[in-house]
Amino acid sequence: MSLKQDFRPLALENLIDTCKEYKEKGYRLDQLLPKLERDNTITLIYTFVLDNEIVNFKIGGIIKNETVVPSVTELFIAAFVFENEAHELYGVNIEGNVLDFKGNFYKFPDGVEAPMTIISPEQLAAREKAAKIAAAKAAREAKAKASRESDASNESTPDSKTESKGQNTEDLEAKLAGMDPEKAAKVRKFKDFHESVRRSPIIVSTRVVSRNTSPTTSLPYSVTSLNATGTTFG
């Protein structure tokens, strides 16, 4: 029989109603697991089990010794163990535990409080290193995203060469407007001719020259260029 496990977020104010709902459905409370997060808040995971189904509810943002968490012992009496542990090991402020040991569930050395929230220098250094790596990764991703957006913007904007070409054409027409009409017509014709040649493909054809052919009477190759006007060179 395979197990089906699910993790779901849960608001603190909905804890009691959710426990009532799952108790009525026949689930048992299998565990209450506190987890210390990197920001020093605590996440509580309530695990309900029925046959092969496991449902985990996660309540985040619990602040040690501050956030009030209601006890679920009136619904699940066995939870008194979990709640005493959460209080003494993590400093979770649980109210209403029907079997509250008042801090005597465990015996700690003098001065030790909520030992599972104590961070060693090595752990602190590891967390700081992880935070720097995460920040660097986020910066790289943000830079890459900005670069992609910039490329997309450039694709949707007219090319600078096209803009420059348009400006040059406008400048030329402005000059031609003050010229003699006949000369202006020749300049425009030459410009059009130049553009047609620039756009036309160059077709190179080779021709085998016989040994008896004199170099002075025949070229070893000919170049033919066809442009839009049908003019032939070669």
Distance CA 89, CA 44 (A): 13
Same structural domain for residues 43 and 78? yes
222 pLDDT more than 50? no
Mean pLDDT value of segment 147-163: 69
Tell me the pLDDT tens digit for each residue of 73-112: 999 999 999 999 999 999 999 999 999 999 999 999 988 9
Same structural domain for residues 114 and 9? yes
| 113 compared with 159, residue with greater pLDDT | 113
Same structural domain for residues 15 and 60? yes
Is the residue at 52 inside a domain? yes
Under 8 Å between Cβ of 41 and 61: yes
Distance CA 48, CA 10 (A): 13
Distance CA 184, CA 201 (A): 28
Q: Where does the pLDDT of residue 232 fall: very low under 50, low under 70, confident under 90, or very high at 90 and above?
A: very low
Tell me the pLDDT tens digit for each residue of 24-73: 999 999 999 999 998 999 999 999 999 999 999 999 999 999 999 999 99
Is the residue at 158 inside a domain? no
- Nearest CA to 78 among 7, 29, 22, 21? 29
Distance CA 104, CA 83 (A): 13
Is the residue at 174 inside a domain? no
* Tokens 């090991």, located at residue: 89
Under 8 Å between Cβ of 24 and 73: no
- Give the helix/strand (H/E) hosting 130: helix 121-156
Owning domain of residue 55:
4-118
pLDDT at 30: 96
Mean pLDDT value of segment 203-222: 49
Cα→Cα distances 29→21, 42, 71, 74, 185, Å: 12, 20, 13, 12, 94
* Tokens 């425009």, located at residue: 188
Mean pLDDT value of segment 122-129: 80
| 133 compared with 161, residue with greater pLDDT | 133
- Give the helix/strand (H/E) hosting 42: strand 42-50
Distance CA 157, CA 36 (A): 50
pLDDT at 166: 60
Q: Where does the pLDDT of residue 153 fall: very low under 50, low under 70, confident under 90, or very high at 90 and above?
A: confident
Domain count, the chain: 3
Tell me the pLDDT tens digit for each residue of 197-211: 766 665 555 555 455
pLDDT at 14: 98
Same structural domain for residues 11 and 57? yes
Q: Where does the pLDDT of residue 221 fall: very low under 50, low under 70, confident under 90, or very high at 90 and above?
A: very low
Is the residue at 169 inside a domain? no
Under 8 Å between Cβ of 79 and 33: no
Same structural domain for residues 126 and 114? no
Reading the block at residue 179, the tokens are 């010229």
CATH code at position 70: 3.30.460.80
Under 8 Å between Cβ of 221 and 204: yes
pLDDT at 28: 97
> What length is written for the chain?
234
pLDDT at 156: 61
Among residues 118, 134, 164, which one ends one of the domains?
118
pLDDT at 173: 72
* Helices 160-176 & 181-199 angle (0-180, nearest 10): 160
Q: Where does the pLDDT of residue 234 fall: very low under 50, low under 70, confident under 90, or very high at 90 and above?
A: very low
